[in-house]
Structure 1
Amino acid sequence: MSPREVARPVIAESWQRSLAASVDPDRHEAPVVFAPDEVADLRGEHPLAAAVPLLRHTLAMDETIMIVTDTAGTILWCEGDNKTRHSAERVHLTEGSRWSEDAIGTNAMGTALATGRSVTVHSNEHLVRKYHTWTCAASPIRDPHTGTLLGVVDVSGPLKTMHPAVAPLVSAAAQLAEHHLQTHLRPRRPVLTLNFLGGVAASLDGRPLSLTLRNAEVLTALALHPRGLTAEQLALQLYGERGNPTTVRAELHRLRAQLGTVLLTRPYRLNAELSGDFLDVRTALREGRTVAAYPGELLARSDAPVVREERDDLAAALRRQVIDSGDVDALVSFADGAEDAEVLERLHTLLPAADPRHALVSSRLRRALE
C-alpha cells in the first residue's frame, strides 16, 4: 500500500513524513534508546507520573497494553496482561524504546505526537510491516496550565482483540489525566532575568529584552517590592516627591508591550521567577555569604531614589565584607579607582613591605588622609 492508496489523510500524511525520514517499511524496528535504570530516572522526573495510576485504572483491559510516552516518543510506562506484553517485547513495543514517526514510521503514538491529535492506526496502516498484526489508539496529554504537550497515552493490542470502543476510551482517559494534573501540577512561571550591575541586560525565558534606563529602573523597583506597588508609590520610588503617577502609568504601558502578562496591575507587580546579578549579590550579602562577582554598580547612570538607595546599600555591604575578609586581591580590586582610607589602611597592613603594591598603597593612603 502506497501513501496515495491510503484512504485517510492523517495516515497518508504520516506515511509521507515517515518515508521522508528514511524509515524502511521492511527493515525498521523501534530503537531501544534507554536502559531500564535510565527509564526509571526519566519516570521519576516526568510530570505524567502523577497521572499514571489514573490511566492504569481507566485503561485496564484484557489482551491489551497501556503505554505512556514522553514528547520524544520514548515509552516510559508499558503495562498490561503478561501474554500481550511478551508479544509486544518481541517487536520492541516496550519501555525504553522510541516510537516517534522518524524512528519507526506511522504508529498511533508517533502520529499523535506529530499532529497533536488523537489517532488510531489499524493493522497495515502502520508503515513498517512488522506491526501489521497490531492496532493502537493514542491521545496526546497536555499541561492543563500552559497547553504544552507532555506526552501521549496509548492502548495497543493484537488486531483481532482490539474493540472499536478503545479509541474513544483512550481519548476520554487523556482528558481525565489533564483534569487530574490541573490539581497536581503547579503552573510554570516565566523566568525574568535582570542583570543591572555594570550595564543593562534582561531576558524573559531566554529571550533578550530591549530596555531603556527607565525600564530598568521600573523593573528594579518592582523586583525589590515583590508584593507590588501602586502608581503613586512607583512615582515616589522613581522620581521622588516630583513624581507623577500618570507618567509612571505611561512607562508601564510601554514596558508591558515586552513583558505581556508578566506585568500585573492593582498593584503593579511581576508574575515571574526573578533572577539576576544584583538580586544574587543582595541575597549573598544578607545571608553572610561571599559575593562571587560584582561587575559594577547597580544602574550607575540612574538617579531614581529606589536605585540610588539600593546601589548605596549594596556598595556599603560589599565594602564591609571585603574589608572584614582580609582577601588582598578583593581589597585591591575594590580599591581600584577609589581613595577609600579604610580600605587602603587594611591593604597597607596586609601587604608585605616587599610587595610592589605596598608602596603604591602607601602613597594613595597618604593622599586619602590629607
Structure 2
Amino acid sequence: MVTELGDATRPVIAESWRRSLAARVDPERHEAPVVYAPDEVADLRDAHPLAATVPLLEHTLSMDETIMIVTDTRGHILWCEGDNRTRHEAERVRLTEGSRWSEDVIGTNAMGTALATGRPVTVHSREHLVRTCHGWTCAASPIHDPHTGLLLGVVDVSGPLKTMHPAVAQLVSAAARLAEHHLRQLAPRRHVLTLDFLGGLRAELDGRPLALTLRNAEVLTALALHPKGLTAEQLALSLYGDRGNPTTVRAELHRLRAQLGDVLMTRPYRLDAVVRGDFLDVRTALRSGNAGKATRHYSGELLPRSDAPVVREERADLAAAVRKGVLERGDLDALLSFADSAEDAEVLERLHGLLPAADPRRALVSSRLRRALD
C-alpha cells in the first residue's frame, strides 16, 4: 500500500493525504460510494441553493474533453456536465451524479480537499490518494453564500491527465466568484445568528454581541435544533418538562424578541436567520461521520449550567457521540482535544498509553488521570 509522499509534495496535498489516511481510506481498494439514486439526486438539485448558478457555471466552464461538476457541502455530486466520451470515462471511476467525493471516503481529490480546506485546489494525477484516480487531473473551488459566508458546495472541472490546461484552475476559481455574484443579485441579505454554547454562553446577531440569560440561550438552542419551528406548548415541554407553562414561555419569548427583533417569528416560533453554532457544527460533523471535525469543534459541554430537557438531551448525545468517535479512532490530536473539554478517565488512560515517556504532556495526563480515578 502506498502511504508516503516525496519531499517535494505540496503541503496542501501532504496534509490531505494525512487526513485521508487517518480516515482509513485504502489507496488500493477504495472507490467513491454512490449514495443517491437518480430520483433522489433530482430532489436534492431542486432544493439546493446552487441550482440557480449551474447554467452560468456550465456556460463558463464548457471545454472539450472535460466534465464540470457541482457538489453539495458533503461532497455529493449533484451535477455532472460535459461531452459524452469524457462522462463515460468518468463513470469508470464513479465521477458521476449521486456519488460522494469527500476526503474521508475517497481520499485526496480536488472536490473533497476544497471542501476540507475552504480554498481552491488542483489535484494532479498521482497526487490523488486512490490509485484508480491517477489518470485524472481536477481543479475545484468552493462557492460560498455571498451574504453569510457559509459554504454551499464546490465547482470542479475534471479531465484525463493529457487534456487539462494549466489555466483551468484559474478559470474554475473565477467561475466560482461569478456564481457568488449571481447569488448576491438573486437573494436579499439574511440575518446571521451565531450561537457558541459549548462550554459557555456567547451569541452574536450580525456581528453584534447579544446579552443573553441562560433561559434565552435555552430557547435559542431549542429553536436552532428545530428550524421549522415550535409551538409555545412544545417549547414549554422542551424547556421545563411536564411542569411547563405556555404562558411562561410566551413571556420569555417576548423578552427575547427585544434583542432579536423580527428574527424571532411566531406561529410557530422560529428563527428567520442563518443560524450558526458550535454545537450545530459538531452535530453536522457527527452526522456526516467526520469524528475528527466533530472533536475539533467540541470545546465543552452544551450550556453546562442548563437543566432544560432539550439541552440535557442534546448535551448527552453530543458528548457520547464525540467520545465514541474519539476512542474508536485513537487519534492522538483528537484525544488531546477531547481531554481538554472533559475529565474522562478512559480517554486519559488511552492518552497515557499513546504519549511517549519523554513527552511533557504525559506527566500532565498522569496527574489528571489520578484525579479522575479518585
How does the TM-score come out when normalised to structure 1?
0.56
CA apart distance, 1:91: 1.0
Find the partner of 2:263 among 272, 283, 304.
272
Q: Is the 8 A contact 1:47 1:185 kept in 2?
A: no
- SS at 1:66 equivalent: strand
Query: Structure 1 CA distance, aligned partners of 2:268 and 2:186?
Result: 33
C-alpha RMSD of matched pairs (Å): 3.1
Query: Structure 1 CA distance, aligned partners of 2:31 and 2:109?
Result: 12
Q: Which runs of 5+ in 2 are unaligned?
A: 195-214, 226-234, 240-246, 271-374
Partner residue in 2 for 1:58: 60
| AA of the residue aligned to 2:145 | D
Partner residue in 1 for 2:42: 40
| AA of the residue aligned to 1:10 | V
Query: Structure 2 CA distance, aligned partners of 1:74 and 1:175?
Result: 21
Q: Which runs of 5+ in 1 are unaligned?
A: 193-198, 224-251, 253-258, 263-269, 280-370
After superposition, where does 1:150-229 map in structure 2 within 5 Å?
Answer: 150-189=152-191, 202-203=219-220, 206=224, 220=254
CA apart distance, 1:206: 2.4
CA apart distance, 1:178: 0.3
| AA of the residue aligned to 1:155 | V
Query: Structure 1 CA distance, aligned partners of 2:130 and 2:184?
Result: 37
Query: Structure 1 CA distance, aligned partners of 2:153 and 2:56?
Result: 15
After superposition, where does 1:294-313 map in structure 2 within 5 Å?
Answer: none
CA apart distance, 1:271: 3.8
- SS at 1:3 equivalent: coil
Query: Structure 1 CA distance, aligned partners of 2:29 and 2:64?
Result: 30
- SS at 1:203 equivalent: helix
Deviation sequence 1:321-340 (CA, Å, 0-9, x none): xxxxxxxxxxxxxxxxxxxx
How does the TM-score come out when normalised to structure 2?
0.55
| AA of the residue aligned to 1:99 | W
* Equivalent pairs, count: 227
Q: Is the 8 A contact 2:148 2:192 kept in 1?
A: no
Query: Structure 2 CA distance, aligned partners of 1:20 and 1:221?
Result: 47
| AA of the residue aligned to 1:164 | P
CA gap 1:122/1:191 in 2 versus in 1, 3 angstroms: closer
Find the partner of 1:75 among 66, 74, 77.
77
After superposition, where does 1:302-341 map in structure 2 within 5 Å?
Answer: none
Percent identity, aligned pairs only, is 68
Partner residue in 2 for 1:248: none
CA apart distance, 1:274: 1.2
Q: Is the 8 A contact 1:191 1:274 kept in 2?
A: no
CA gap 1:191/1:112 in 2 versus in 1, 3 angstroms: closer
Deviation sequence 1:102-128 (CA, Å, 0-9, x none): 110000000000000000000000000
Deviation sequence 1:201-232 (CA, Å, 0-9, x none): 73265289x9xx9x986962795xxxxxxxxx
Query: Structure 2 CA distance, aligned partners of 1:274 and 1:160?
Result: 55
Query: Structure 2 CA distance, aligned partners of 1:19 and 1:278?
Result: 44
Query: Structure 1 CA distance, aligned partners of 2:67 and 2:155?
Result: 11
Q: Is the 8 A contact 1:191 1:273 kept in 2?
A: no
Query: Structure 2 CA distance, aligned partners of 1:165 and 1:272?
Result: 44
| AA of the residue aligned to 1:272 | V
Query: Structure 1 CA distance, aligned partners of 2:133 and 2:183?
Result: 32
Partner residue in 2 for 1:329: none
Query: Structure 2 CA distance, aligned partners of 1:183 and 1:189?
Result: 17
2:92 paired with 1:108: no
CA gap 1:278/1:163 in 2 versus in 1, 3 angstroms: closer
CA apart distance, 1:191: 8.0
Query: Structure 2 CA distance, aligned partners of 1:217 and 1:91?
Result: 58
CA gap 1:191/1:141 in 2 versus in 1, 3 angstroms: closer
- SS at 1:10 equivalent: helix
CA apart distance, 1:273: 4.1
| AA of the residue aligned to 2:52 | A
CA apart distance, 1:188: 4.0
CA gap 1:158/1:216 in 2 versus in 1, 3 angstroms: same
